[in-house]
Every structure is written in C-alpha cells, then in structure tokens.
Amino acid sequence: MTGLVDRVTARLPRPEVALVWLIAAHVVLKVLIFPLAMHAPAYNDEQQYYDGARALSNLVRDVFAFHSPDGAELRHNVVASGWFMPGMAILMAPLFVVCPDAADWACRGYLGLANLLLLLWAVRSVRKRLGPGYAALLVAFPALLPSWIFMSFTAYGDPPSGIVLIVLVAHVVDMLRRFRAGEPPALKEALQLGLLATAVLYLRSSTSIVLAVLGGITLLAALVLLKGVQRWRALGAAGLAGVVFLVLLAPWSIAASDTLGTRVVTTTTVPISLANTFGDREQVCFGRCDPDSFLWFRPLRYAREVGRATGESEVDVEKQMSDYALRDVTTEHYARQTWWNIGSYFFVPANFVRYLTPPEGRSTLGKVSEGVVFGATYVYYVPWFLLMLVSMLFVQRRSLEAQILDTLTKLSLLTLFVQPFVHVAGSRYWTTAGPLFMVAAAGFVREHQVRRRDREKEREHLSGTDATLGRWLRPIQVALAGFFGLVLVVLGVLAV
C-alpha cells in the first residue's frame, strides 16, 4: 500500500497548485449537491436553531429601533431548555435580520455560503501555520466528502465546529513553536485563542473537554519551556485568553441559568441523554413517559410539569429522573450500548442525506442523486477513517513538529470520542472530528513514507529545549496509543 501511495503522491501537483484545484472542486460539488438540500425544511434540532436565529434577529431590530427587547421570546426560543448552544442561531441571525420570512432555499443557500467562507478562512489559517500541504488536505477531506458538503447546508453546528477546531489546533502548534524558540505569545495571539475557543464551544458544547485539554497543554508548555520574564508574559497571555473566553461565555451562561433556575455553564442535555441512551426508557419519567411525544421531548415535558408542581428547576428534576432510569444499568449493557453508539458515530456518515428531503419527497432524479451521494460518501470516507483508526495505535517520530501535531491530534480525537460513552451518537457527530481524521491519516502515511525511503532521517537531532520536549512527547504518544487500544479491548470484553 505504501508503494501505491508513493506512486500517487509522486504524480500530484505542488500543494499550492493542488489547493486551488481542490477548492474549485469543492465549489463545483457544492453547486451540484445544493439542489438535494435546497427545498428541505428545518429538520429536528434545526428548528430550534431557526427559532433562536429569528429571536436574535428581532433583538437586533429592537436595539436599533430603541425598543425594549422581548425577554420572553429570547428565553423561549434562544435558551429554551438549555439543550443547544446558540452558535448556529447567531450565525443565522443576519439572514433573518435582512429577510425575516426567508424561504427554505434561502436558508439552505445562506448556510452553504457561510460554511464556504468559514472553510476558506480555515484553509488560509492552516496554510499559514501548518503549511500548504495540510491546507490542501483539509479541502480534500472532509470538504470533498459528498455528505459533508450536504451537511454544510444544514443548521447543525458539528461541521463548522470541526473547521474552527482545526484552526485552533493549528494556532496551538504555532504557539508551541514560539515556546520552543523562547518567545511568549503576543497578546493578539492570546486574544485569537480565546475567540477561537469560544466559537468552537458555541457551535458544539461537546467540545468543552477538548478545549480544556488544549488549554491545559498550552499552559503547561509555557511553564516548562519558558523561563523568567518570558514565562510570566506567557502566563499573562494565557490569562487574557481565559478572560476573553469567560467573558464571551458569560452572557449565555447567565441567561441560561436565569431562565432555568439553576446553574448552567454550557448545556443541560447530559442527564436525559444518559437516561435515554443507557438507562431503562420505560422508567425515565419514574415510569413510562407520554408515548405520543418524541423520545427526547417526553422526559423534558414531564420534567417541566414536575418542576412547576414542586418549585424545582426542570434541570434538577431531569437529574433525578436520570438517576432513577440508570439505577439498574449493568456493565455489560453499558458496553453494548456504547458499541452501538460508536457504530452510529463512525459508520453511518451519509444518513442525513436521507433525512433532509423536500416535504413531497424527491423526484426520480433526486433519488438517483441521493444514491450517488450516499454511495460516493462511503467509498471516499472509509479509507480516511481506516487510516485515522490505525494512526491512533501508532506514534510519529520523524520530526519534533510531527510529534507535536500527532500528540495534539490524538488528545483532541480521544476527547471528542468521549461522546459515544455518555450520549447517543448519530451520523452528524463525526463531522466535528472530521478535519482531525485528515491530520491523523496524513501524518501516519507521511511517517511510513519517510521510514521506507530514508531510515537515517527517521529522527532529527534535537538539543536544548527541543530535546527535553522530545523526551516528554515520546512516552505521551505511546501512552495515548496504548490507552486507545486498551479502551477498545476492554469494551469488547465487557460487551461479550
């Protein structure tokens, strides 16, 4: 396989040229796939984002008209039950400011254009910090995957959060370069990190663990790699990034906490998600829930009613309901359900192509196109996924730069992969990790190319700070790869 990869890469154009062609291919595919999504109304969770965006657009009108904002509308449509971060609602709000009654095709077109601009911005940022090769690969995967392009026309925050996350990782890599050179980050860089972290979290609350890990790594690296005044400057920059993050998160947390009558930092979905995913669904409402309501809203309605009757917050009631439904969960049941979640997370990347359809269904041509998108997604997705999976079990040592990127990628992917262990998974969640699939797969292929071609260049000579960092990274890489393999083995044993 390595020989085949060598022959293919030898015929590829320079990364700068390939990048232009890949962006052009992405735009062409986007135009071709748009008709499949353009007449689809808001689906499932999208309706909450649409409602939130309309409420925010009304807030903008009220502010500019010097009217008092409608607090009830904001509480009902933006905060609601605290299940969804407001990132996508904020992104969509400008459309409804200009066109309050935007048709389905306008909403889908606007979202597609917004995601295209976001991708181009990410490509520019990755090119600057990781090089044109990784920028081209970002367009190659996931931005050429048909189902990912289809998802870029939706109001789900998973694809854009993955794009912003890869930019954040690139910034961290660049910051670690500065630390290695004995330089603290500039205040501008710290401000950018705070903004990027906030954007990722506002788009997907499940990224909170990733952000905590990346923030901890950056802080630890500053303490270990810098000395004296430079270390204090770096800590000051870290403090600025943290302040920016907290200040921007505060409006949401305060509004959600006030609306729901309890402390809310990001979202409130975990208790009901655990109950519905791993618990006894016949006991979620201290017995059976209303069978005439959607699975996720049955317990929500019940929690609201109990909260009104008892004076408790619905969030606190949901925690009690979750504990009750989970009281008899066995290790075997948990492991089997986790495997089911893992399968849903990784192995159905094209399902939303079938979910989002016009109210009257697709025409014959539309069904054929849907089948092409569905099939092409699997053909293109599987090799990248397998390479990512294998890369998680191996380490990269060809250069210190490769070790740093490999370590950050492994940590980010492992923390993203926590979701199937605590939440029901679906075919859209992998898109947050998609750009990191590319980094892992590309790094693994490059590692084996270098080892096969020129063994004396497998490891570079390191000295000083770089030598110290290299000695730390090697065992960390091995530990992360071993942990990933161990988790798979333990889950397999428990599920039998």
Counting Cβ atoms within 10 Å, is residue 364 exposed (0-12), middle (13-18) or buried (19+)? exposed
CA 245 to chain centre: 17
pLDDT of residue 136: 96
Say which residue the tokens 């609201």 belong to. 304
240 closest CA partner among 177, 283, 275, 197 = 197
pLDDT tier for residue 423 given thresholds of 50, 70 and 90: confident
Q: Between 308 and 208, name the one with better pLDDT.
A: 208
Answer for the pair 299, 321: CB distance below 8 angstroms, yes or no. yes
Residues 209, 416: Cα–Cα separation, whole Å: 8
For 357-371, what is the mean pLDDT?
Answer: 93
| Domain boundaries along the sequence of the chain | 2-266+348-495, 270-332
Residues 72-119: tens digit of each pLDDT? 999 999 998 888 999 999 999 999 999 999 999 999 999 999 999 999
List CB contacts of 161: < 8 A, sequence separation 6 or more: 87, 200, 203, 204, 207, 432
pLDDT tier for residue 4 given thresholds of 50, 70 and 90: low
Residues 315, 257: Cα–Cα separation, whole Å: 10
Residues 239, 191: Cα–Cα separation, whole Å: 10
Residues 436, 169: Cα–Cα separation, whole Å: 9
pLDDT tier for residue 54 given thresholds of 50, 70 and 90: very high
**Cα dist from 420 to 340, 341, 345, whole Å:** 8, 5, 7
Work out the angle at residue 97's Cα, subtended by the Cα atoms of residues 94 and 100, and round it to the nearest 5 degrees.
120
Helix (H), strand (E) at residue 451: helix 430-453
Residues 265-291: tens digit of each pLDDT? 999 888 888 888 898 888 888 888 877
For the chain, give the percent of residues with pLDDT over 90.
Answer: 68
Answer for the pair 411, 213: CB distance below 8 angstroms, yes or no. yes
pLDDT of residue 7: 61
Residues 372-422: tens digit of each pLDDT? 999 999 999 999 999 999 999 999 888 889 999 999 999 999 999 999 998
Answer for the pair 91, 114: CB distance below 8 angstroms, yes or no. yes
For 422-440, what is the mean pLDDT?
Answer: 91
Helix (H), strand (E) at residue 213: helix 208-225
Quick one: tokens of 330?
Answer: 């066995």
pLDDT of residue 426: 82
Say which residue the tokens 């990755």 belong to. 126
